[in-house]
Chains A and B, each alone.
Chain A
Amino acid sequence: MQRRTFLSHTCAASAGVATLTFSSRLLAASPDSPRFLLVFLRGGYDALSLLVPTSGSFYQEVRPHIAIPLAAGDQAGAVPLTEQWALHPAVEAPLRPLLQARQLSFIPFAGTDDTSRSHFETQDSIELGQPLGPQRNFQSGFLNRLASVLPGSPAMSFTDQLPTVFRGPVDIANTSLKGQLKNGLNKPLQSALASMYQHHPLGAKVQEGFEVRQEVSSTMAGNMAGEMEAASRNAVSTNGFEQEARRMARLMRERYALGFVDVGGWDTHVGQGQLTGYLATRLGQLASGLAGFADEIGPTMWKQTTVVVISEFGRTMRENGNRGTDHGHGSVYWALGGGLRGQKVLGEQTSIEARTLFQNRDLPVLNDYRATLAGLFQRQYGLSPSAIDKVFPACQPRDIGLI
């Protein structure tokens, strides 16, 4: 269906709200609008296996079986980033070009003031982005509020379901780009369906679903051939997340200014591994995917793109009885983008030793996620204080100098 036809259709159906929220999505984002992708690692990834503290011996002492050793001579190991930190080699290798181009930064001691240590509670807290307390509105996620202050910035959640972070009055499209992409219904059925929903509250979503399906297949038309060709040439096999990330990049380059994706499987209570093993594999896949995203979105768009990787909490400083780690507090966030200033590790920091731990078990949180993201959005979009206050109510933005 043509956009014009659709607009007149919904107007005729007097779906005023639907038209209002929907019209912002119909326009592709301008090639000049900045792009922002949030990657949520669900499960609380073990940040201390990603970013390894290198000053002092506390880390090695409390993680006798799972500490990531430093690279030494031709011995593989974590690669030093600064005097205090080194990076897991499974992440460093695929992201080396971005590191060298100063387009990758890490923010340790990042997180929330939610100390429930519950995955679900803390994920909700973060996605809502509202001050903790009984007054929270569970139908309002911070990316939806960001979309509401960025007109002309259509948003897409690359997930099967619409996550909490995108819930709210602005209508947000969603579709997962994992695996094989399917074709939709024929046009006559689509119009019959649209007519059934013309006065229904779900009407706008139904229309949007058809349109997004159309966009995805037209944007991916050339890409599919490319993916198959790569496979047949026996190129380095693309892991699932990299394929997905490249597809996201293509759609964001063409038409979506805001994106969200979540990646699960980080709740490593048992046998998380070290240089190799379960967690190293997951981290490596994530890093390859992010490198693929940067590559696929193209050098021009990458200059105005920021990707932020977060997780609900970090894990315990000390390993548990099963060569794993339990739910903790402070995490390490990642930022990637062509416009980054390129400091490898930034934000408020402290030394890592027994006396600085939060409740004698976890990394403390010194960089609040709301203040940090508010500082980033302020710079990336030039948002006014009132717009920032809408995205993150009652929060003082802190510009830690990412971009």
Chain B
Amino acid sequence: MLTACASQPPQASDKPALARARDHTPAGDPRLHVLVNRLSWGASDSELNLALQLGPARYIAQQTASAPPAALPPAVQGQIDSLTITQKPLMALLADLDSLKQADDKQPYQKELTRLAREAASRHLLRALYSPQQLREHMSWFWFNHFNVHQHKHNIRAMLGDYEERALRPHALGRFRDLLGAATRHPAMLRYLDNDQNAANRLNENHARELLELHTLGVDAGYTQRDVQELARVLTGHGVQHSDKTPHLRRELAGFYVREGAYEFNPARHDFGDKTVLGRRIQGRGATELDEVLDTLATHPATARFVCGKIARYLLSDTPPEPLVRRMSEAFLSSQGHIGDTLNVLLGAPEFTQAEPGKFKDPMHYVISALRAAYDDKVIRNTTPIFNWLNRLGEGLYNRQTPDGYPLTADAWSSSGQMAVRFEIARAIGTHSAGLFKSEEGSQATEQAAFPQLARASYYQFTRAMLGPDTRQALDNTSSPQDWNTLYLSAPEFMYR
């Protein structure tokens, strides 16, 4: 479907290209483009064509359904299948690492941890770029950010793949309660928020506080320091165990022991006294106390408001309309926290397809949408450049040190320094293949593709009509296709979704 050749930049008067585009596909409705751009990681040709084929209502229904995973392109699936994190379960990874750690030279241990984190990042990026389940991938990043952990604490780098694969992504469109339970009990989270150190009479309230403040109710929901301390007592004993060993337990405690993979509930570390959380009396009885508290938190109206407001800010606008957030909260509560049902309210709302894109892209959205526009039809083989760009822009995967996750609003990402770096990345993507097709070993021979072709049918069909006169003029005045690409990806219109 390429309509412009590399040596000849497209012009406004490029009639044949325009005519061809119009002959073969229906005229682009900007609202469809806006819908796809907001729902997915960015409008690619194939995503636009899919939405065009299905129509908006069926496209939304397909994306929110918790259907079995649609197939990835084989070249992407092949890359994912070859990863160690795909082939080995977490316990096996930890066992390998623990034996590496015994060595005097700690470098191989550290290198392996870093390699495993990069594998997780690679998988995450490939799915964001190429998965047909765009809404699931889009929300998986959101939930990681909501239940944020930082890779550079202890051995969390080894746990990221499992955390995403088993705790977050399967529940990304499912029930919030399942997601909350899986994230709260995952070794990555227990370790990140120090709950693996939290024990009876040696309380560590870090996890308890963030569970209330960031994961469920939100900071102004009226809970107290006392609630934090009581929840910390509930959380005592929930921890991490790498080895196959089980602790020696007194007979009366042995029945309370729980073990699932690297997650362990050790009753010897648990405070079995009764607790009161948010005015509710929790009878001391072991691991299931936490389930009772999570049940309460997951269906709390404050949680519904907090989570729905955050989803609307992420997908729609820095200042989402209050009535829409209220309707989402109602759907969240009446569906017992079903995320897909809640998303249906948002995606089906007229505000979601209004023609004015008003949400400034954060770096992840910016970089992924640029690459989806550029390399929809050609599978990237090396995600290292993407990884580096995100780090340069301050939004690297797994790199947010604090549990609040990255900010989701424009003011965090639109400063002068951010814009300058963004343009440099646009140039890198627009003018050469930027290392995206090098094999991981760095051999030059396998590098394909000189630079992407962004001036093509979909540009004339959907995008050009949405560009302002200044942008059109700058594009039309450009004599080199590489500069055209750079300007297109740097245009103000490309900064918003």
- Where the two chains meet, the residues of A that have a C-beta atom closer than 8 Å to any C-beta of B are 42-43, 116-121, 139, 157, 159-162, 167, 171-176, 182, 184-185, 188-189, 192-193, 195-200, 202, 205-206, 208-210, 212-213, 264-265, 267, 269-270, 320-322, 324, 326-327, 359
Contact = CB atoms under 8 A, between A and B. Distances in A.
Contacts of B477: 192
A270 B197 contact: yes
Nearest to A182: B424
B139 interface: no
Given A198-B470, A321-B197, A326 B206 contact: yes
Contact of B404 (A119, A196, A327): A119
Contacts of A270: 194, 197, 204
Contacts of B203: 320-321
Interface string B406-423: 010001111111111101
A198 B470 CA distance: 8
A185 B427 CA distance: 8
B209 A160 contact: no
Contact of A199 (B204, B423, B470): B470
Given A119-B402, A189-B483, A192-B477, 4 more contacts: A121-B213, A176-B394, A200-B470, A321-B197
A168 to B, nearest CB: 10
A117 B204 contact: no
A101 to B, nearest CB: 34
A208 B416 contact: yes
A174 B197 contact: no
B416 A327 contact: no
B199 interface: yes
A196 B490 contact: yes
A265 B401 contact: yes
A118 B219 contact: yes
B483 A184 contact: no
Nearest to B483: A189
Nearest to A188: B483
- Chain B residues touching A, majority SS: helix
A195 B470 contact: yes
Contacts of B417: 157, 159-162, 173-176, 209, 212
A176 B419 CA distance: 13
A264 B199 CA distance: 27
B216 to A, nearest CB: 14
Nearest to A120: B404
Nearest to A320: B204
6 contacts: A161-B412, A192-B474, A196-B470, A197-B470, A320-B204, A321-B199
Interface string B368-395: 0000000000000000000000000110
A359 B228 CA distance: 15
Nearest to A134: B220
A327 B412 CA distance: 25
Chain A to chain B: the 5 pairs with minimum beta-carbon distance, closest first: A321-B202, A209-B420, A160-B394, A162-B415, A209-B416
Interface of B: 194, 197-199, 201-206, 209, 213-214, 219, 225, 393-394, 401-402, 404, 407, 411-421, 423-424, 427, 468, 470-471, 473-474, 477-478, 483, 486-487, 490-492, 495
A161 B213 contact: no
B152 to A, nearest CB: 9
B262 to A, nearest CB: 18
A182 B412 CA distance: 21
B204 A209 contact: no
- Chain A residues touching B, majority SS: loop
A322 B194 contact: yes
Contact of A161 (B194, B401, B418): B418
B209 A192 contact: no
Contacts of B202: 320-322
Contacts of A117: 209, 225
Contacts of B412: 161-162
B187 to A, nearest CB: 15
B404 A209 contact: no
Given A118-B219, A210-B420, A269 B492 contact: no
B221 to A, nearest CB: 12
B490 A174 contact: no
Nearest to B154: A270
B478 A192 contact: yes
A269 B197 contact: yes
B483 A192 contact: yes
Nearest to A42: B402
Indicate the member of A172, A267, A320 with the most B CB atoms within 10 Å: A320
Contacts of A324: 194, 204
Indicate the member of B204, B468, B478, B495 with the most A CB atoms within 10 Å: B204
A269 B418 CA distance: 32
A62 to B, nearest CB: 14
Contact of B219 (A43, A116, A212, A327): A116
A324 to B, nearest CB: 8
Contacts of B492: 196-197, 200, 202
B487 A193 contact: yes
A324 B153 CA distance: 15
B416 A212 contact: yes
Nearest to A208: B416
